[in-house]
């Protein structure tokens, strides 16, 4: 059996970026993946500016609190400052450009203004309260990296550099399909032997949250030709095809035969729980991922095993997630597989959902993350464990 | 000065849900906030079904591995099972309904089928491999709570219950405006004294990521009448008005006078760093939040102080974020304010961005989270500190 890390590494080793780049408006780039480094085209700030509301002076002029300094100009944010005349001060406001000649800004609380002059009651150090040109960023510096997914602060940073258009990778198109004659859509009536299709909703929602474009194929009947037709269409429309169900060894599972006939399929034995079975291959030249049928297994394998691969296909450079340490409030025997326990964080540690069966989707909804239990390692109350809040998979 | 927690509590105490509910398709409900509890309308699974591919029998019939049991039916997922005839077995597949009368499923690996009969080589416990009706959820059980933001697994869970439409709160409309004659849009040329408007991009992107509808007011000129007109329009179109800049004590800041004249404004002294100044009030009957002008201060106050309030206005019941413990790889003196340090997690702990000035937006983009440093508490290398990965603010 492959360990979880071996499975992830094998998938990543087989991955390549599947999407070309396109140039889009910065304001639309949230969550998108950068197709190239962003280099600062300007200094930030572009000129020395005042960090305070106050008075800009030559330091040497401010030593005597008794003598007022004549005010020669007034500089507001956005206005253009002239050179500071000798032995004068400029009224200045936060963010305004410091006039040439001035080397210090005195905050207004330490000044007294009267009759067109200002008295400096408390002189700061020379150079105080000035934000220097380029102190945030200097021209030519790399600020954002190819393969990075853009967050709100990254958009803000790019905007601060005057960048209005960015090169990103086109959104990865992921075809989602389920198989199973027993599956009904929510809203329909359930007949004996049928269950509602929860995987479609969960998978679509999660893949869309990751920024992928979804090609929703719906449900294929348990019939080789129906599965075959749907698979060909999915491969023609999407970059990657993902199914849930249909890849176990049971004779009613047609997916693996169809994928094998249209490309190749490997059934992987991964030491993960929940998670069996997992299949990887290709169909009509497109990567194929076959997730299990049980909803919790789908959820866990999608987050833990498929996610890094899909992000790699999207051109994301760092696909790892980082666990944090938490105190276990439960006992759990280790098993022969790496176990992803559904838990909930409290002020004292993480609680275990009582029923860890892979059919119990409520366990994922009840909690806020997973505890990763290593192969063969027992967990006892009070142990530090590896906790993965669902948010880290975003 | 208010502590950060006092400020958050004061805002929450003044908050109320500002949006009515609406009913939408489940598939569109990702990230939306539930307007009522969801109660299971059915049992899940709706009937006893097989957890394995194998043979369904009466336990008593399986005790003799030498005698074959006649196969009387074949039950696939989605098909309707008849009652199991006495002393016979049913071929059964994962997910298929267990025939009435059968009480045990034997996995196919422990059976031998030949000539229309099956021999049980290894009999499991009575009741094995059957997923019982209602074992996941039973009719009437509360599964999702009013005020909860829906994640992919929650959509899957609702779908598994046959629910195709859900009651959620309409998206909160948040008007975003900046003030400052010095602000230029990315893509435009920068004149002396001007800087690019980064706050607009960062705020819009972050608020949209939280699921709010954005009313983008752009930039108001530093002119009382311009600010006034824009403020009136923002309040008429949105549920909440947020500005960046314009609420400090400087005489060029018109926002506070305008808001005061159209409603009320309090300048809050919050012991947060970065973060000064922060204003709260109302304008034409709508809540008003005045964030600072410095981009890092905007980012931190938006995440830490404004976020819980905005989510409360959206009808979200739990607005808290939970820090995790991390090892500091840096020394930092404590100050009189709660300090939100921009950091980056590594395998060994969290590293500090060298320049913690509130003007340096790159510090937020460089890292992946914040360390919360309590008032007056020094941090030394090796200390455990409160780390807030940016993901927890999602």
Cβ pair A299:B153 closer than 8 A: yes
Residue A248 binned pLDDT confidence (cut-offs 50, 70, 90): low
Do B231 and B291 lie in one domain? The reply is yes
The per-residue pLDDT for B248 is 64
Give a yes or no: residue A270 inside a domain. Answer: yes
Residues of B in contact with A164 (CB under 8 A): 185-187
Q: In this complex, do B136 and A194 lie within 8 Å of one another by their Cβ atoms?
A: no
Handedness of CA B305, A350, A294, A212 (dihedral sign): positive
Among B158, B161, B362, whose Cβ lies nearest the Cβ of A157? B362
Q: Is residue A213 part of a domain?
A: yes
The most distant pair of C-alpha atoms in chain B lies apart, rounded to whole Å, by 97
Mean pLDDT of chain B: 93
Give the distance from residue B29's alpha carbon to the nearest chain A alpha carbon, in angstroms. 9
* Nearest residue of chain B to residue A249 (CA atoms): B53
Same domain? For A301 and A177 the reply is: yes
Using DSSP bridges, classify how beta strands A104-107 and A111-114 pair: parallel, antiparallel or unpaired.
Answer: unpaired
- pTM, two decimals, is 0.91
The per-residue pLDDT of chain A, averaged, comes to: 93
Q: Which two tokens stand for residue B61?
A: 């019939």
* Nearest by CB: A365 against B47, B157, B190: B157
* Residue B264 to chain A, least CA–CA distance (Å): 24
pLDDT band at A237 (very low <50, low <70, confident <90, very high): very high
Q: Which of B153, B252, B357 faces A76 most closely, judged by CB atoms?
A: B252
Compute the distance between CA of residue B21 and CA of residue B8 in angstroms, rounded to an integer.
25
Give the pLDDT confidence score for residue B327 in this predicted structure: 95
Of A192, A250, A390, Cβ closest to residue B94: A250
Percent of chain B with pLDDT over 70: 99
| Structural domain includes residue B24 | no
User: What is the percentage of chain A residues whose pLDDT exceeds 70?
Assistant: 99
Q: Which of A185, A325, A361 sits opposite B153 (nearest CB)?
A: A361
Contact A252 B76 (CB under 8 A): yes
Q: What's the CA gap between A262 and A287, in Å, rounded?
A: 11
Integer Cα distance of A173 and A313 in angstroms? 10
Q: Are residues B208 and B297 in the same domain?
A: yes
Task: Test B322 with A345 for CB contact under 8 angstroms.
Answer: yes
CA distance to partner chain B, nearest, from residue A81 (Å): 8
Interface test with A, best of B256, B306, B361 (most A CBs within 10 A): B361
Residue pointed to by tokens 């908050």: B15
- In this structure, the dihedral spanned by the alpha carbons of residues A197, A201, A204 and A205, taken in order and rounded to 10 degrees, is -160
A93·B252 Cβ contact <8 A: yes
Which tokens is B382 given?
A: 């090796």
Q: Which two tokens stand for residue A169?
A: 């990778």
- pLDDT tens digits along B303-358: 999 999 999 999 999 999 989 889 999 999 999 999 999 999 998 999 999 999 88
Q: Which residue has the higher pLDDT, A25 or A355?
A: A25
What is the side-by-side order of every strand in the sheet holding A173-179? A213-220, A173-179, A240-244, A286-291, A278-283, A263-268
Q: Are residues A107 and A221 in the same domain?
A: no
Cα dihedral: A221, A226, A227, A233 (round 10): -130
Cα separation, A379 vs B141, whole angstroms:
30
Distance of alpha carbon B361 from alpha carbon A44, whole angstroms? 10
Q: Do B181 and A76 touch (CB under 8 A)?
A: yes
Confidence of residue B283 (pLDDT cuts 50, 70, 90): very high
B117 and B80 within one domain: yes
Measure in Å the smallest separation between the Cα of B150 and chain A Cα atoms. 9
Closest CA–CA distance from residue B10 to any residue of chain A (Å): 22
Q: What is the pLDDT of residue B313?
A: 98
Residue B379, domain CATH? 2.40.340.10
- Minimal Cα distance from A216: which residue of B? B27
| Among A247-256, B24-33, B144-153, B230-239, the least confident range | A247-256
Tens of pLDDT, residues B108-131:
999 999 999 999 999 999 999 999
8 A C-beta contact, residue B150 and residue B28: no
Q: Nearest CA to B78 among A197, A291, A216, A362?
A: A197
User: Token digits for B72?
Assistant: 């009387």
pLDDT in tens, A75-125: 988 788 899 999 999 999 988 999 999 999 999 999 999 999 999 999 999
Structural domains counted in chain A: 4
Q: Is the ipTM of this complex over 0.85?
A: yes
Question: Which CATH number is B161's domain given?
Answer: 3.90.105.10
Sign of the C-alpha dihedral computed for residues A59, A60, A61 and A65 taken in this order: positive
**B75-106 residues labelled b (16+ CB within 10 A) or e (exposed):** bbbbbebeebeeebbbbbbbbbbbbebbbbbb
Residues of A in Cβ contact (< 8 Å) with B212: none
Q: Return the closest-CA partner of residue B198 out of A168, A154, A37.
A: A154
Residues B225-232: what's their mean pLDDT? 95
Of A81, A361, A392, nearest to B160 by CB-CB distance is A361
Tell me the mean pLDDT in the region A254-272.
93
Confidence of residue B250 (pLDDT cuts 50, 70, 90): low
**Residue of B79, B95, B364 best to disrupt the A interface, most CBs of A under 10 A:** B95
Question: Cβ A201–B153 below 8 Å, yes or no?
Answer: no
A81/B187 Cβ within 8 A: no
Residue to test with chain B: of A160, A199, A247, A300, most B Cβ within 10 A: A160
> A118 Cβ partners below 8 Å, 6+ apart?
A55, A68, A69, A71, A89, A91, A111, A112
Contacts of A387 in chain B (CB under 8 A): 324
**Neighboring chain B residues of A95 at a CB cutoff of 8 Å:** 180, 182, 195, 293
Residue A138 lies in a domain: no
The Cα of B120 is separated from the nearest Cα of chain A by a number of Å equal to 18
Which of B314, B339, B373 is the last residue in one of the domains? B314
What integer is the mean pLDDT of B208-225?
A: 93
Q: Which two tokens stand for residue B356?
A: 């913690």
Boundary residue ending a domain (B291, B314, B337): B314
On chain B, the residues whose CB falls within 8 A of the CB of A386 are: none
In this prediction, residue A98 carries a pLDDT of 95
Same domain, B354 and B266: no
Answer yes or no: do A226 and A354 share one domain: no
Give the alpha-carbon dihedral of A19, A25, A28, A31, to 10 degrees.
Answer: 50
Report the CATH number that the domain containing residue B263 is assigned in CATH: 3.40.980.10
pLDDT tens-digit readout, A12-58: 999 999 999 999 999 999 999 999 999 999 998 889 999 889 999 99
Count contacts between A and B (CB, < 8 Å): 305
Is A230 in the same domain as A286? yes
Task: Tell me the C-alpha distance between A261 and B344, whole Å.
Answer: 47
pLDDT at B249: 57
| CB-nearest partner of A136 from B94, B95, B362 | B362
| Structural domain harbouring B352 | 324-393
Q: Which of A288, A314, A340 is the last residue of a domain?
A: A314
A80 located within any domain: yes
Mutate to test the interface with A, among B29, B137, B156 (most CBs of A within 10 A): B156
Q: Which residue of A has its CA nearest to B135?
A: A360
Q: Quick one: pLDDT at residue A250? A: 57
What's the rounded Cα separation, in Å, for the pair B252 and B248?
9
**Would you state the pLDDT for residue B28?**
96
Whole-number Å distance between alpha carbons of A162 and A59: 33
**Domain match, B108 and B179 both:** no
| Chain A residue closest in CA terms to B360 | A136
Contact check, Cβ <8 Å, B195/A250: no
Residues 6 or more apart in contact with residue B6 via CB below 8 angstroms: none
What's the pLDDT at B105? 97
Name the residue facing A77 among B155, B182, B206 (closest C-beta).
B182
CATH (domain of A106): 2.170.190.11
Q: Inform me whether the pLDDT recorded for B251 exceeds 90.
A: no
pLDDT, greater one: B195 or A337 = A337
Residue B79 has pLDDT above 70, yes or no: yes
Give the pLDDT of residue A62: 87
> Measured between CB atoms, which of B158, B187, B209 is closest to A152?
B209
Residue A252 has pLDDT above 80, yes or no: no
Q: pLDDT by residue (tens digit) across A151-195?
A: 999 999 999 999 999 999 999 999 999 888 888 999 999 888 788
Would you say residue A206 lies in a domain? yes
B25 domain residue, yes or no: no
pLDDT at B42: 94
Please tell me which of the candidates B49, B187, B299 has its beta carbon nearest to residue A162. B187
Helix, strand, or coil (residue B384): strand
User: What is the predicted pLDDT for the residue at A148?
Assistant: 97
pLDDT at A249 over 60: no
Structural domain includes residue B61 = yes
pLDDT(A374) > 80: yes
Whether A91 and A53 share a structural domain: yes
Q: Min CA distance, A79 vs chain B (Å)?
A: 6
Q: Do residues A117 and A107 both lie within one domain?
A: yes
- Contact residues on chain B for A75, CB-CB shorter than 8 A: 193
- How many angstroms away from the CA of A232 is the closest CA of chain B? 24
Residue B218: φ, ψ to 5°: 75, -150
Mutation target among B43, B113, B160 for the A interface, most CBs of A within 10 A: B160
Both A234 and A272 in one domain: the answer is yes
Distance from CA of B321 to the nearest CA of A (A): 11
Lowest mean pLDDT among A227-241, B71-85, B257-271: B71-85
Contact B30 A154 (CB under 8 A): no
Inter-chain contact B80–A209, Cβ cutoff 8 Å? Answer: no
What is residue B167's predicted lDDT score, i.e. its pLDDT? 98
Q: φ, ψ for residue B169 (rounded to 5)?
A: -85, 140
Report d(CA B147, CA A326) in Å as an integer.
27
Residue of A80, A191, A195 lying closest to B192 (CB–CB):
A80
Residues A200, B93: C-beta atoms closer than 8 Å: no
Phi/psi at A252 (5° precision): -85, 5
Binary contact (B324, A322; C-beta < 8 A)? no
């Amino acid at each position: 059996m492959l360990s979880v890390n071996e499975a992830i590494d094998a998938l990543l080793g087989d991955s390549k970026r599947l999407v070309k780049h396109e140039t889009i408006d910065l304001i639309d780039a949230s969550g998108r993946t950068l197709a190239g480094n962003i280099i600062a085209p300007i200094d930030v700030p572009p000129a020395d500016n005042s960090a305070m509301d106050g008075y800009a002076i030559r330091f040497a002029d401010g030593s005597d609190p008794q003598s007022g300094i004549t005010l020669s100009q007034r500089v507001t944010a956005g206005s253009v400052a002239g050179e500071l005349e000798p032995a004068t001060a400029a009224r200045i406001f936060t963010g305004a450009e410091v006039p040439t000649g001035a080397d210090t800004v005195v905050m207004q609380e330490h000044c007294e203004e009267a009759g067109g002059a200002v008295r400096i009651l408390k002189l700061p150090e020379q150079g105080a309260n000035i934000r220097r040109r380029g102190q945030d960023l200097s021209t030519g510096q790399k600020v954002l990296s190819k393969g990075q997914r853009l967050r709100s602060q990254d958009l803000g940073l790019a905007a601060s550099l005057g960048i209005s258009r960015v090169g990103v990778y086109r959104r990865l198109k992921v075809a989602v399909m389920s198989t199973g004659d027993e599956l009904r859509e929510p809203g329909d009536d359930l007949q004996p032997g049928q269950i509602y299709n929860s995987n479609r909703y969960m998978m679509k929602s999660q893949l869309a949250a990751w920024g992928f474009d979804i090609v929703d194929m719906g449900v294929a009947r348990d019939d080789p030709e129906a599965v075959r037709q749907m698979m060909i269409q999915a491969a023609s429309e999407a970059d990657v095809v993902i199914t849930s169900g249909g890849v176990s060894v049971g004779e009613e599972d047609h997916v693996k035969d169809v994928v094998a006939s249209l490309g190749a399929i490997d059934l992987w034995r991964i030491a993960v729980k929940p998670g069996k079975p997992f299949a990887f291959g290709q169909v009509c030249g497109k990567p194929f991922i076959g997730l299990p049928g049980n909803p919790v297994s789908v959820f866990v394998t999608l987050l833990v095993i498929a996610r890094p691969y899909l992000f790699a296909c999207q051109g994301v450079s760092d696909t790892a997630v980082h666990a944090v340490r938490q105190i276990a409030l439960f006992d759990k025997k280790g098993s022969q597989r790496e176990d992803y326990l559904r838990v909930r964080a409290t002020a004292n540690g993480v609680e275990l959902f009582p029923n860890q069966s892979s059919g119990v989707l409520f366990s994922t909804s009840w909690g806020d993350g997973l505890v990763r239990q290593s192969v063969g390692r027992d967990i006892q109350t009070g142990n530090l464990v590896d906790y993965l809040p669902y948010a880290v998979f975003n």
